Structure 1
Protein backbone atom coordinates (compact mmCIF):
# COMPACT_ATOMS: atom_id res chain seq x y z
CA UNK A 1 0.00 0.00 0.00
CA UNK A 2 1.46 3.33 -1.13
CA UNK A 3 -0.03 6.74 -0.35
CA UNK A 4 0.78 9.87 -2.32
CA UNK A 5 0.68 13.30 -0.74
CA UNK A 6 0.20 15.47 -3.81
CA UNK A 7 0.68 18.73 -1.89
CA UNK A 8 2.96 19.19 1.11
CA UNK A 9 5.22 21.99 2.31
CA UNK A 10 7.24 19.59 4.43
CA UNK A 11 10.36 21.47 3.36
CA UNK A 12 9.30 24.39 5.61
CA UNK A 13 10.79 22.36 8.48
CA UNK A 14 14.43 23.34 8.25
CA UNK A 15 15.64 21.63 11.41
CA UNK A 16 17.50 18.63 9.97
CA UNK A 17 16.58 16.24 12.76
CA UNK A 18 12.90 17.23 12.85
CA UNK A 19 12.70 17.03 9.07
CA UNK A 20 14.13 13.50 9.14
CA UNK A 21 11.56 12.54 11.79
CA UNK A 22 8.72 13.90 9.65
CA UNK A 23 9.93 11.79 6.73
CA UNK A 24 10.35 8.72 8.91
CA UNK A 25 6.75 9.02 10.13
CA UNK A 26 5.65 9.25 6.50
CA UNK A 27 7.37 5.98 5.68
CA UNK A 28 5.90 4.31 8.78
CA UNK A 29 2.44 5.22 7.46
CA UNK A 30 3.14 4.23 3.82
CA UNK A 31 3.23 7.83 2.62
CA UNK A 32 6.06 7.20 0.18
CA UNK A 33 5.42 9.84 -2.51
CA UNK A 34 5.44 13.56 -1.70
CA UNK A 35 4.95 16.40 -4.17
CA UNK A 36 6.37 19.75 -3.10
CA UNK A 37 4.65 22.93 -4.32
CA UNK A 38 6.79 26.02 -4.70
CA UNK A 39 5.54 29.35 -3.34
CA UNK A 40 8.31 31.90 -4.00
CA UNK A 41 11.96 32.28 -4.98
CA UNK A 42 13.21 31.53 -1.45
CA UNK A 43 11.53 28.12 -1.33
CA UNK A 44 13.27 26.81 -4.46
CA UNK A 45 16.43 25.83 -2.58
CA UNK A 46 14.48 24.33 0.32
CA UNK A 47 12.60 22.08 -2.10
CA UNK A 48 15.74 21.11 -3.99
CA UNK A 49 17.54 20.21 -0.76
CA UNK A 50 14.72 17.87 0.29
CA UNK A 51 14.56 16.28 -3.16
CA UNK A 52 18.31 15.61 -3.01
CA UNK A 53 17.92 13.88 0.36
CA UNK A 54 14.96 11.75 -0.78
CA UNK A 55 15.14 11.51 -4.60
CA UNK A 56 12.89 8.43 -4.72
CA UNK A 57 10.19 10.03 -2.59
CA UNK A 58 10.11 13.80 -3.14
CA UNK A 59 9.13 15.59 -6.34
CA UNK A 60 9.46 19.31 -7.06
CA UNK A 61 7.09 21.88 -8.51
CA UNK A 62 7.85 25.46 -9.57
CA UNK A 63 5.50 28.41 -9.23
CA UNK A 64 4.61 31.67 -7.53
CA UNK A 65 1.83 31.44 -4.93
CA UNK A 66 -0.91 34.04 -5.47
CA UNK A 67 -0.36 35.48 -1.97
CA UNK A 68 3.23 36.16 -3.00
CA UNK A 69 2.22 38.09 -6.11
CA UNK A 70 3.39 41.58 -5.16
CA UNK A 71 4.69 44.63 -7.01
CA UNK A 72 7.87 42.74 -7.97
CA UNK A 73 5.99 39.67 -9.24
CA UNK A 74 7.39 39.84 -12.76
CA UNK A 75 10.97 39.67 -11.47
CA UNK A 76 9.97 36.80 -9.17
CA UNK A 77 8.37 34.97 -12.09
CA UNK A 78 11.48 35.40 -14.20
CA UNK A 79 13.70 34.00 -11.46
CA UNK A 80 11.40 31.04 -10.84
CA UNK A 81 11.10 30.28 -14.54
CA UNK A 82 14.87 30.46 -15.00
CA UNK A 83 15.29 27.98 -12.12
CA UNK A 84 13.40 25.29 -14.02
CA UNK A 85 16.21 24.64 -16.48
CA UNK A 86 18.46 21.87 -15.20
CA UNK A 87 15.94 20.72 -12.57
CA UNK A 88 13.30 18.01 -12.80
CA UNK A 89 9.94 19.69 -12.28
CA UNK A 90 6.68 17.74 -12.22
CA UNK A 91 4.14 20.59 -12.15
CA UNK A 92 3.75 24.36 -12.18
CA UNK A 93 2.39 25.24 -8.78
CA UNK A 94 1.08 26.32 -6.60
CA UNK A 95 -0.49 29.06 -8.66
CA UNK A 96 -3.90 30.66 -8.85
CA UNK A 97 -5.94 33.41 -7.19
CA UNK A 98 -6.47 34.19 -3.50
CA UNK A 99 -8.93 36.94 -2.56
CA UNK A 100 -9.12 36.06 1.12
CA UNK A 101 -6.16 38.21 2.17
CA UNK A 102 -5.98 40.94 -0.45
CA UNK A 103 -8.48 41.78 -3.18
CA UNK A 104 -6.47 44.76 -4.43
CA UNK A 105 -3.93 42.54 -6.20
CA UNK A 106 -6.51 40.70 -8.32
CA UNK A 107 -5.31 42.05 -11.67
CA UNK A 108 -1.66 41.12 -11.10
CA UNK A 109 -2.71 37.75 -9.62
CA UNK A 110 -4.64 37.08 -12.82
CA UNK A 111 -1.66 38.06 -14.95
CA UNK A 112 0.74 35.86 -12.96
CA UNK A 113 -1.75 32.99 -13.15
CA UNK A 114 -2.06 33.25 -16.94
CA UNK A 115 1.68 33.50 -17.46
CA UNK A 116 2.31 30.38 -15.38
CA UNK A 117 -0.45 28.44 -17.11
CA UNK A 118 1.38 29.15 -20.35
CA UNK A 119 4.64 27.89 -18.84
CA UNK A 120 2.89 24.63 -18.04
CA UNK A 121 1.43 24.29 -21.52
CA UNK A 122 4.79 24.98 -23.17
CA UNK A 123 6.55 22.51 -20.87
CA UNK A 124 3.85 19.85 -21.09
CA UNK A 125 3.23 19.97 -17.34
CA UNK A 126 0.11 20.01 -15.14
CA UNK A 127 -0.73 23.00 -12.97
CA UNK A 128 -1.63 22.91 -9.28
CA UNK A 129 -4.21 25.57 -8.45
CA UNK A 130 -4.60 27.52 -5.23
CA UNK A 131 -8.11 28.98 -5.12
CA UNK A 132 -9.40 30.79 -2.05
CA UNK A 133 -12.62 32.81 -2.19
CA UNK A 134 -11.98 33.10 -5.92
CA UNK A 135 -13.76 30.28 -7.76
CA UNK A 136 -15.43 32.63 -10.25
CA UNK A 137 -12.16 34.44 -10.97
CA UNK A 138 -10.17 31.19 -11.33
CA UNK A 139 -12.76 29.61 -13.61
CA UNK A 140 -12.84 32.75 -15.76
CA UNK A 141 -9.11 32.37 -16.44
CA UNK A 142 -9.34 28.60 -16.95
CA UNK A 143 -12.25 28.85 -19.39
CA UNK A 144 -10.26 31.39 -21.41
CA UNK A 145 -7.16 29.15 -21.38
CA UNK A 146 -9.03 25.89 -22.01
CA UNK A 147 -7.43 23.51 -24.49
CA UNK A 148 -6.11 19.95 -24.61
CA UNK A 149 -2.92 21.01 -22.78
CA UNK A 150 -4.66 22.49 -19.74
CA UNK A 151 -4.79 19.97 -16.88
CA UNK A 152 -3.83 19.50 -13.25
CA UNK A 153 -5.15 19.60 -9.69
CA UNK A 154 -7.50 21.91 -7.81
CA UNK A 155 -5.50 21.92 -4.57
CA UNK A 156 -7.46 21.86 -1.30
CA UNK A 157 -10.81 21.67 -3.06
CA UNK A 158 -13.62 22.91 -0.83
CA UNK A 159 -16.19 24.01 -3.39
CA UNK A 160 -19.70 22.91 -4.28
CA UNK A 161 -20.73 19.89 -6.33
CA UNK A 162 -21.31 22.18 -9.31
CA UNK A 163 -17.81 23.66 -8.96
CA UNK A 164 -16.33 20.20 -8.58
CA UNK A 165 -17.93 19.06 -11.82
CA UNK A 166 -16.84 22.24 -13.61
CA UNK A 167 -13.24 21.60 -12.52
CA UNK A 168 -13.40 17.97 -13.64
CA UNK A 169 -14.84 19.02 -17.02
CA UNK A 170 -11.80 21.28 -17.44
CA UNK A 171 -9.56 18.21 -17.02
CA UNK A 172 -8.69 18.74 -13.36
CA UNK A 173 -8.54 16.36 -10.43
CA UNK A 174 -9.65 17.46 -6.97
CA UNK A 175 -7.07 17.56 -4.19
CA UNK A 176 -8.71 16.36 -0.98
CA UNK A 177 -7.10 17.06 2.39
CA UNK A 178 -7.90 17.47 6.07
CA UNK A 179 -10.96 19.66 5.49
CA UNK A 180 -12.91 16.54 4.47
CA UNK A 181 -12.67 15.36 8.11
CA UNK A 182 -14.26 18.55 9.50
CA UNK A 183 -17.88 17.97 10.50
CA UNK A 184 -19.27 21.30 9.28
CA UNK A 185 -17.27 21.50 6.05
CA UNK A 186 -19.88 19.58 4.02
CA UNK A 187 -17.24 18.23 1.67
CA UNK A 188 -18.34 14.66 2.36
CA UNK A 189 -21.78 15.51 0.93
CA UNK A 190 -20.21 17.02 -2.20
CA UNK A 191 -17.93 14.02 -2.77
CA UNK A 192 -20.83 11.58 -2.51
CA UNK A 193 -21.65 12.55 -6.11
CA UNK A 194 -18.07 12.80 -7.40
CA UNK A 195 -16.24 9.71 -8.74
CA UNK A 196 -13.24 8.52 -6.74
CA UNK A 197 -11.14 8.32 -9.89
CA UNK A 198 -11.17 12.13 -10.03
CA UNK A 199 -9.57 12.60 -6.61
CA UNK A 200 -6.06 12.77 -5.20
CA UNK A 201 -4.94 12.96 -1.58
CA UNK A 202 -3.03 15.83 -0.02
CA UNK A 203 -2.20 17.33 3.37
CA UNK A 204 -1.03 20.89 2.61
CA UNK A 205 1.17 20.37 5.66
CA UNK A 206 1.87 22.18 7.94
CA UNK A 207 -1.64 23.60 7.41
CA UNK A 208 -5.16 22.17 7.67
CA UNK A 209 -4.48 19.19 9.91
CA UNK A 210 -7.23 16.57 9.84
CA UNK A 211 -9.28 15.46 12.82
CA UNK A 212 -8.03 14.42 15.44
CA UNK A 213 -5.18 16.93 15.02
CA UNK A 214 -7.25 19.91 13.88
CA UNK A 215 -5.70 23.17 15.04
CA UNK A 216 -2.25 21.65 15.39
CA UNK A 217 0.60 21.56 12.86
CA UNK A 218 -0.15 19.16 10.05
CA UNK A 219 2.30 16.66 8.59
CA UNK A 220 2.29 14.33 5.62
CA UNK A 221 2.05 11.20 7.78
CA UNK A 222 -1.48 12.35 8.72
CA UNK A 223 -2.60 11.58 5.17
CA UNK A 224 -3.93 8.28 6.51
CA UNK A 225 -6.74 10.14 8.32
CA UNK A 226 -7.84 11.73 5.05
CA UNK A 227 -7.72 8.32 3.37
CA UNK A 228 -9.80 6.75 6.14
CA UNK A 229 -12.48 9.43 5.76
CA UNK A 230 -12.64 8.84 2.00
CA UNK A 231 -12.86 5.10 2.61
CA UNK A 232 -15.91 5.79 4.78
CA UNK A 233 -17.50 8.11 2.20
CA UNK A 234 -16.98 5.70 -0.73
CA UNK A 235 -17.50 2.52 1.30
CA UNK A 236 -14.23 0.97 0.14
CA UNK A 237 -11.05 -0.12 1.92
CA UNK A 238 -8.23 2.26 2.80
CA UNK A 239 -6.00 0.14 0.55
CA UNK A 240 -8.31 0.85 -2.38
CA UNK A 241 -8.23 4.58 -1.62
CA UNK A 242 -4.41 4.41 -1.62
CA UNK A 243 -4.33 2.49 -4.88
CA UNK A 244 -6.79 4.65 -6.83
CA UNK A 245 -5.49 8.02 -5.64
CA UNK A 246 -1.85 7.07 -6.16
CA UNK A 247 -2.66 5.85 -9.66
CA UNK A 248 -4.41 9.18 -10.31
CA UNK A 249 -1.30 11.04 -9.14
CA UNK A 250 0.83 9.04 -11.59
CA UNK A 251 -1.50 10.02 -14.43
CA UNK A 252 -1.17 13.68 -13.49
CA UNK A 253 2.55 13.95 -12.74
CA UNK A 254 3.89 11.19 -14.98
CA UNK A 255 5.81 9.51 -12.17
Structure 2
Protein backbone atom coordinates (compact mmCIF):
# COMPACT_ATOMS: atom_id res chain seq x y z
CA UNK A 1 0.00 0.00 0.00
CA UNK A 2 1.59 3.26 -1.20
CA UNK A 3 0.33 6.35 0.62
CA UNK A 4 1.06 9.89 -0.54
CA UNK A 5 1.21 12.96 1.69
CA UNK A 6 0.65 15.76 -0.80
CA UNK A 7 1.38 18.56 1.67
CA UNK A 8 3.85 18.35 4.55
CA UNK A 9 6.35 20.91 5.87
CA UNK A 10 9.08 18.43 6.79
CA UNK A 11 11.67 21.21 7.00
CA UNK A 12 9.73 23.00 9.75
CA UNK A 13 11.55 24.02 12.94
CA UNK A 14 8.97 21.90 14.77
CA UNK A 15 10.89 18.82 13.56
CA UNK A 16 14.41 20.00 14.35
CA UNK A 17 14.75 17.60 17.29
CA UNK A 18 13.60 14.43 15.54
CA UNK A 19 13.16 15.07 11.81
CA UNK A 20 14.72 11.84 10.54
CA UNK A 21 12.99 9.69 13.15
CA UNK A 22 9.68 11.31 12.24
CA UNK A 23 10.21 10.62 8.54
CA UNK A 24 11.19 7.03 9.36
CA UNK A 25 7.92 6.54 11.25
CA UNK A 26 6.02 7.61 8.15
CA UNK A 27 8.06 5.43 5.81
CA UNK A 28 7.49 2.44 8.10
CA UNK A 29 3.73 2.92 7.70
CA UNK A 30 3.84 2.98 3.92
CA UNK A 31 3.85 6.74 3.42
CA UNK A 32 6.56 6.85 0.80
CA UNK A 33 5.85 10.05 -1.16
CA UNK A 34 6.06 13.48 0.48
CA UNK A 35 5.27 16.69 -1.40
CA UNK A 36 6.92 19.69 0.26
CA UNK A 37 5.37 23.16 -0.13
CA UNK A 38 7.50 26.28 0.09
CA UNK A 39 6.92 29.26 2.42
CA UNK A 40 9.63 31.76 1.46
CA UNK A 41 13.28 31.90 0.44
CA UNK A 42 14.56 31.34 3.98
CA UNK A 43 13.53 27.66 3.75
CA UNK A 44 14.88 26.87 0.29
CA UNK A 45 18.21 25.43 1.43
CA UNK A 46 16.49 23.18 4.00
CA UNK A 47 14.12 21.91 1.34
CA UNK A 48 16.95 21.13 -1.07
CA UNK A 49 18.78 19.26 1.70
CA UNK A 50 15.71 17.10 2.36
CA UNK A 51 15.52 16.26 -1.32
CA UNK A 52 19.19 15.27 -1.26
CA UNK A 53 18.66 13.10 1.82
CA UNK A 54 15.55 11.34 0.43
CA UNK A 55 15.79 11.51 -3.38
CA UNK A 56 13.22 8.72 -3.87
CA UNK A 57 10.64 10.12 -1.49
CA UNK A 58 10.78 13.93 -1.41
CA UNK A 59 9.16 16.08 -4.12
CA UNK A 60 9.57 19.83 -3.81
CA UNK A 61 7.33 22.77 -4.65
CA UNK A 62 8.42 26.38 -5.02
CA UNK A 63 6.38 29.45 -4.11
CA UNK A 64 5.67 32.30 -1.73
CA UNK A 65 3.13 31.60 1.02
CA UNK A 66 0.44 34.32 1.29
CA UNK A 67 1.18 35.03 4.98
CA UNK A 68 4.76 35.81 3.92
CA UNK A 69 3.74 38.34 1.28
CA UNK A 70 5.31 41.41 2.87
CA UNK A 71 7.07 44.59 1.77
CA UNK A 72 9.80 42.54 0.09
CA UNK A 73 7.39 40.30 -1.82
CA UNK A 74 8.72 41.30 -5.23
CA UNK A 75 12.21 40.13 -4.25
CA UNK A 76 10.68 36.89 -2.97
CA UNK A 77 8.83 36.40 -6.26
CA UNK A 78 12.11 36.91 -8.11
CA UNK A 79 13.57 34.11 -5.98
CA UNK A 80 10.64 31.85 -6.91
CA UNK A 81 11.13 32.64 -10.58
CA UNK A 82 14.88 32.02 -10.42
CA UNK A 83 14.48 28.68 -8.62
CA UNK A 84 11.84 27.47 -11.07
CA UNK A 85 14.21 28.19 -13.95
CA UNK A 86 17.14 26.22 -12.54
CA UNK A 87 15.75 23.34 -10.44
CA UNK A 88 13.13 20.62 -10.86
CA UNK A 89 9.93 21.35 -8.91
CA UNK A 90 6.60 19.54 -9.02
CA UNK A 91 4.26 22.46 -8.27
CA UNK A 92 4.09 26.15 -7.52
CA UNK A 93 2.94 26.34 -3.93
CA UNK A 94 1.79 26.98 -1.53
CA UNK A 95 0.27 30.14 -2.88
CA UNK A 96 -3.02 31.93 -2.41
CA UNK A 97 -4.72 34.38 -0.06
CA UNK A 98 -4.94 34.41 3.74
CA UNK A 99 -7.17 37.02 5.37
CA UNK A 100 -7.12 35.46 8.84
CA UNK A 101 -3.87 37.08 9.96
CA UNK A 102 -3.67 40.29 7.95
CA UNK A 103 -6.33 41.84 5.72
CA UNK A 104 -4.18 44.91 4.98
CA UNK A 105 -2.00 42.96 2.53
CA UNK A 106 -4.91 41.76 0.37
CA UNK A 107 -3.89 43.70 -2.73
CA UNK A 108 -0.30 42.49 -2.75
CA UNK A 109 -1.44 38.96 -1.85
CA UNK A 110 -3.67 38.99 -4.94
CA UNK A 111 -0.80 40.26 -7.06
CA UNK A 112 1.59 37.59 -5.73
CA UNK A 113 -1.05 34.87 -6.25
CA UNK A 114 -1.77 35.89 -9.83
CA UNK A 115 1.92 36.26 -10.67
CA UNK A 116 2.67 32.76 -9.36
CA UNK A 117 -0.26 31.23 -11.23
CA UNK A 118 1.24 32.66 -14.40
CA UNK A 119 4.65 31.26 -13.47
CA UNK A 120 3.05 27.84 -13.00
CA UNK A 121 1.49 28.05 -16.45
CA UNK A 122 4.80 29.09 -17.97
CA UNK A 123 6.51 26.03 -16.45
CA UNK A 124 3.49 23.75 -17.06
CA UNK A 125 3.16 23.04 -13.34
CA UNK A 126 0.17 22.64 -11.01
CA UNK A 127 -0.54 25.18 -8.29
CA UNK A 128 -1.21 24.36 -4.64
CA UNK A 129 -3.62 26.85 -3.11
CA UNK A 130 -3.68 28.12 0.47
CA UNK A 131 -7.05 29.69 1.33
CA UNK A 132 -8.01 31.01 4.74
CA UNK A 133 -11.13 33.14 5.11
CA UNK A 134 -10.68 34.08 1.45
CA UNK A 135 -12.80 31.83 -0.78
CA UNK A 136 -14.40 34.73 -2.66
CA UNK A 137 -11.04 36.42 -3.22
CA UNK A 138 -9.38 33.17 -4.35
CA UNK A 139 -12.20 32.41 -6.79
CA UNK A 140 -12.03 35.96 -8.14
CA UNK A 141 -8.37 35.48 -9.08
CA UNK A 142 -8.91 31.96 -10.41
CA UNK A 143 -11.72 33.20 -12.63
CA UNK A 144 -9.35 35.67 -14.31
CA UNK A 145 -6.82 32.85 -14.89
CA UNK A 146 -9.22 30.07 -15.82
CA UNK A 147 -7.84 27.97 -18.68
CA UNK A 148 -6.94 24.42 -19.62
CA UNK A 149 -3.42 24.90 -18.24
CA UNK A 150 -4.69 25.98 -14.81
CA UNK A 151 -4.81 22.96 -12.50
CA UNK A 152 -3.66 21.83 -9.09
CA UNK A 153 -4.78 21.24 -5.51
CA UNK A 154 -6.98 23.27 -3.21
CA UNK A 155 -4.91 22.55 -0.11
CA UNK A 156 -6.62 22.01 3.27
CA UNK A 157 -10.09 22.31 1.82
CA UNK A 158 -12.55 23.42 4.52
CA UNK A 159 -15.36 24.95 2.48
CA UNK A 160 -18.91 23.97 1.62
CA UNK A 161 -20.10 21.47 -0.97
CA UNK A 162 -20.87 24.38 -3.30
CA UNK A 163 -17.36 25.80 -2.82
CA UNK A 164 -15.91 22.33 -3.44
CA UNK A 165 -17.66 22.12 -6.80
CA UNK A 166 -16.48 25.60 -7.72
CA UNK A 167 -12.89 24.71 -6.80
CA UNK A 168 -13.12 21.59 -8.95
CA UNK A 169 -14.43 23.68 -11.85
CA UNK A 170 -10.94 25.24 -12.00
CA UNK A 171 -9.32 21.79 -12.39
CA UNK A 172 -8.46 21.57 -8.69
CA UNK A 173 -8.30 18.42 -6.60
CA UNK A 174 -9.31 18.83 -2.96
CA UNK A 175 -6.55 18.34 -0.38
CA UNK A 176 -8.11 16.57 2.60
CA UNK A 177 -6.31 16.36 5.93
CA UNK A 178 -6.92 16.32 9.66
CA UNK A 179 -9.97 18.60 9.53
CA UNK A 180 -12.05 15.72 8.14
CA UNK A 181 -11.63 13.94 11.51
CA UNK A 182 -12.81 16.93 13.60
CA UNK A 183 -16.30 16.82 15.16
CA UNK A 184 -16.87 20.39 13.99
CA UNK A 185 -14.95 20.05 10.73
CA UNK A 186 -18.18 19.82 8.69
CA UNK A 187 -16.58 18.55 5.47
CA UNK A 188 -17.19 14.95 6.61
CA UNK A 189 -20.93 15.66 6.27
CA UNK A 190 -20.78 15.96 2.47
CA UNK A 191 -17.40 14.68 1.31
CA UNK A 192 -18.72 11.33 0.09
CA UNK A 193 -20.96 13.23 -2.35
CA UNK A 194 -17.74 14.11 -4.20
CA UNK A 195 -16.16 11.37 -6.26
CA UNK A 196 -12.91 10.13 -4.74
CA UNK A 197 -11.18 10.88 -8.05
CA UNK A 198 -11.17 14.54 -6.93
CA UNK A 199 -9.45 13.91 -3.58
CA UNK A 200 -5.82 13.79 -2.44
CA UNK A 201 -4.54 13.15 1.07
CA UNK A 202 -2.37 15.53 3.07
CA UNK A 203 -1.30 16.31 6.61
CA UNK A 204 -0.04 19.93 6.52
CA UNK A 205 2.38 18.74 9.21
CA UNK A 206 3.27 20.11 11.71
CA UNK A 207 -0.19 21.75 11.68
CA UNK A 208 -3.78 20.46 11.86
CA UNK A 209 -3.24 17.10 13.54
CA UNK A 210 -6.10 14.65 13.06
CA UNK A 211 -8.03 13.14 15.93
CA UNK A 212 -6.78 11.68 18.33
CA UNK A 213 -3.70 13.94 18.08
CA UNK A 214 -5.60 17.22 17.71
CA UNK A 215 -3.80 20.06 19.46
CA UNK A 216 -0.44 18.28 19.25
CA UNK A 217 2.30 18.50 16.63
CA UNK A 218 1.21 16.83 13.42
CA UNK A 219 3.48 14.51 11.45
CA UNK A 220 3.20 12.64 8.18
CA UNK A 221 2.59 9.23 9.78
CA UNK A 222 -0.71 10.59 11.13
CA UNK A 223 -2.10 10.60 7.60
CA UNK A 224 -3.18 7.04 8.42
CA UNK A 225 -5.95 8.57 10.54
CA UNK A 226 -7.13 10.65 7.58
CA UNK A 227 -7.00 7.57 5.36
CA UNK A 228 -9.13 5.62 7.87
CA UNK A 229 -11.73 8.39 8.02
CA UNK A 230 -12.03 8.52 4.23
CA UNK A 231 -12.30 4.74 4.03
CA UNK A 232 -15.21 4.99 6.46
CA UNK A 233 -16.89 7.86 4.60
CA UNK A 234 -16.57 6.18 1.19
CA UNK A 235 -17.16 2.64 2.43
CA UNK A 236 -13.91 1.46 0.85
CA UNK A 237 -10.85 -0.39 2.11
CA UNK A 238 -7.77 1.50 3.25
CA UNK A 239 -5.91 0.04 0.28
CA UNK A 240 -8.50 1.31 -2.20
CA UNK A 241 -8.46 4.85 -0.80
CA UNK A 242 -4.65 4.87 -0.72
CA UNK A 243 -4.45 3.60 -4.31
CA UNK A 244 -7.00 6.07 -5.72
CA UNK A 245 -5.66 9.13 -3.90
CA UNK A 246 -2.07 8.29 -4.82
CA UNK A 247 -3.15 7.87 -8.45
CA UNK A 248 -4.82 11.30 -8.24
CA UNK A 249 -1.62 12.84 -6.91
CA UNK A 250 0.38 11.31 -9.76
CA UNK A 251 -2.01 12.87 -12.25
CA UNK A 252 -1.60 16.31 -10.68
CA UNK A 253 2.15 16.23 -10.14
CA UNK A 254 2.85 14.33 -13.39
CA UNK A 255 4.86 11.54 -11.82
TM-score relative to the length of structure 1: 0.98
Across the aligned residues of Structure 1 and Structure 2, the Cα RMSD in angstroms comes to: 1.1
Offset of residue 185 of structure 1 = 1.1
Alpha-carbon displacement from aligned partner over 1:119-169 (angstroms, at most 9, x marks no partner) = 000000000000000000000000110001000000000000000001111
Unaligned runs of 5+ in 2: none
Partner of 2:238 in structure 1?
238
Partner of 2:250: 250
Structure 1 position 193, deviation (Å):
1.1
| Number of corresponding residues | 255
Runs of 4+ in 1 over 3 A off after TM superposition: 13-17
Which 5+ residue runs of structure 1 have no aligned equivalent? none
**TM-score of the superposed pair, with normalisation by structure 2:** 0.98
In structure 1, how many angstroms separate the alpha carbons of the residues matched to 2:37 and 2:190? 26
Q: Indicate if the aligned counterparts of 1:13 and 1:19 stay in contact, CA closer than 8 A.
A: no
Tell me the CA shift for residue 236 of structure 1: 0.3
Partners of 2:56 and 2:28 lie apart in 1 by: 16
Q: Distance in 1 between matches of 2:107 and 2:20?
A: 40
Residue 177 of structure 1 and its aligned partner are, at CA, apart by: 0.2
Helix, strand or coil at the partner of 1:35: strand
State the SS of the aligned residue for 1:105. helix
The CA deviation at 1:14 is 7.8
Tell me the distance in 1 between the aligned counterparts of 2:52 and 2:17: 16
1:109-128 aligned within 5 A: 109-128=109-128
C-alpha distance in 2, partners of 1:187/1:231? 15
Give the Cα separation in 2 of the matches to 1:230 and 1:79.
38
Structure 1: distance between partners of 2:61 and 2:218? 20
Match for residue 146 of structure 2? Answer: 146
Q: Aligned equivalents of 2:35 and 2:76: distance in 1?
A: 22
1:60 to partner: Cα distance = 0.4
